[in-house]
Structures are given as C-alpha cells and as structure tokens.
Structure 1
C-alpha cells in the first residue's frame, strides 16, 4: 500500500474542513438520489425483504450523518499527516487517507450495483470489501490521530456491519427466484 502515492488533489481536498465534509455528502446524495423510483418500483417491491431491514426513512437520516463523519475524519487525518509526527504515525495517516478514498469509491458504487444493475450478490461483495476497508482505515487512523477519528468512524463501522447483514438477507431470501437478477 505504501508504494502507491495519492494524487495531490486527494491530499488537498480534506485540508479544508467544509470541503472534507461536503464532498462525501454531495457524492453520496448524488449516488442515492435516483433510487427513489427503484425503491417504489416493481423490482424492489417484489423482493423478499429481511425482517430486520430498517424503515426507508432511516437511510435519509443515517447516511448524511455518516458521510459528514467520514469527511470530518478525513480532515483530521490530513491534519495529523501534516503535523510533526513520528514516521510510523505519519505513514499511518497517509495509509488511512488512501483507505479513505478507496472506501469512498466502494461506498459510491454499491448503490448502482444493488439498485440499477440489480446485482445483489455483487453488491454484497462490494459491501464486504467496503466494510473491511473502513475497519482497516479506522484502525490505522486511530493510531495516527490518537483516537480522534475513531469517534467519527466507529458508527460507520457499526452501520456497515449491519448493512452487510441486511444485504446478505436480501441475497439469501431472493436467491433462485424468477426475475431475480443474481441467478
């Protein structure tokens, strides 16, 4: 991971706290916005839903908070990276920033995979990779920021763990069904 360098723009964006928070909020909103029609449409309504799936309104509350929190964590990470830290802490901050951008990409592609491509199994694979990346990011940034980022990333870890269970529930309940895209 250390041999791959971040483009300068990916280090520059989180330096500004407002940009760091707004960027994932805007990108997440753009990714999720078109799903309303699909959620109200025949494909999604025709799926068997896990009994523990939260109400639709929950997502509009939880995700903006998580996007803002992850953005703030990226801001804290770049601040830690720029401080006069030990080489290992500085490397942890840099690695955490790499993982931040990877997880943001994985996060943003989940919605099109699940809702537009209707590939629930592939969405599950993406979500497992996303969850692992976020746990790794949380761990390395904890060290680099003396735990400051953990407060903002732990709820994201918890939500992704729960979301993985929900995604698995959708896949499990609908596998082998006629009209189910992941056949």
Structure 2
C-alpha cells in the first residue's frame, strides 16, 4: 500500500470523523431524555468502536485503490473512489440528522442507506483485495447494528 494513497483515504476518513464528532453530543438533555433499547451499548463503547472502524476504512480503502491501480483498472478505481466518498458522506450525515436535527426516524432511514453503502463498499473492496474486504466487513455489520439501534430509539420515542 502506498503512503500517498493511505494519506488520502485517511484524510477523507478524518474529515468524516471530525464532522461526526462536532455534531455528536451524548451529554445533551435531549439525548439523555430518550428511551433507549436494552441492547444500547454504553456511551464509552462508541468512540472506541468508531476509532477502530475509521482506521479500518482508511486502510482497506487504500489497499483497494492501490490494488485496482496496479491491475490497471482505472474505470473501476474511479467507481470505487466515488462509492468510498459517498459512503463517508453518508457516515458523517447520520450524526447531523440524529444529534443536531433530532430526527431519529430520518436518521434511521439514512442509516439504512449507510448500511447498504457500507455492504457495497465491502463487496467492492473484496473484489479489489480479498483481505481488505474481509477486514472491512465489521464496518458494514456495525452500520447495520446502528440502523437497528437508531430505529429502536425512534420507535421508543415517537415525539422525539
């Protein structure tokens, strides 16, 4: 994996993480007032999981992009880069919809799009590099879990 490719994917992932962090406020009175499902992880779990997943996204994305370039699959590389960028935009958008807009149902719908995008990114990554695709699979699983969790919060708080 080339350092220049990793620097680019890491920069995109870092921008996503910063955007999401700016919008997120688990100590807000609004969030504390929400009824949460019994499978809600403790708040301390989220930054740990997301840090690991963001590192995974940057590394797996770089491996896929370099693999596609090495095989001279430029059109597929461009499609991969568009899918990667769209996924990061969806990732950042969830925090703004849930935390700032306080629209759990809209955030749940958007999160379902993120989960689908993440599964597609795993598939695309796996085609470029089987190892990188396997490494990225937990991201799609976590986004699916986040969709279920967000929908459960929305269901328990119809007026939120």
**1:83 to 2:70 alignment:** yes
Counterpart residue number, 1:138: 122
| Structure with larger Rg | 1
Is residue 111 of structure 1 aligned with residue 95 of structure 2?
Answer: yes
What's 1:18 paired with? 7
> How far 1:22 sits from its partner (Å)?
4.4
1:164 aligns with 2:116: no
- The alpha-carbon distance between structure 1 residues 72 and 17, as it changes in their structure 2 partners (threshold 3 A), is same
Is there any run of 5+ residues in structure 2 with no aligned partner, and where? none
Which structure dedicates a bigger proportion of its chain to helix?
Answer: 2
Alpha-carbon shift at residue 97 of structure 1 (Å): 2.1
RMSD over aligned Cα atoms: 1.9
User: Displacement, 1:31?
Assistant: 2.1
For 1:32-181, list aligned pairs within 5 A: 32-36=21-25, 39-85=26-72, 91-145=75-129, 147-175=130-158, 177=159, 180=160
Q: Which runs of 5+ in 1 are unaligned?
A: 1-13
Question: Higher relative contact order at CA 8 Å, sep ≥6: structure 1 or structure 2?
Answer: 2
TM-score (norm. length: structure 1)? 0.78
Contact 1:92 1:141 in 2 (8 A): no
8 A Cα contact 1:31 1:108, kept in partner: yes
Contact 2:20 2:95 in 1 (8 A): yes
Offset of 1:92 from its aligned partner? 4.1
Task: State the distance in 2 between where 1:160 and 1:49 align.
Answer: 18
TM-score, normalised relative to structure 2:
0.88
Measured after TM superposition, the shift of residue 173 of structure 1 is: 0.6
Q: How far is 1:29 from its partner? A: 3.0
Partner of 1:8: none
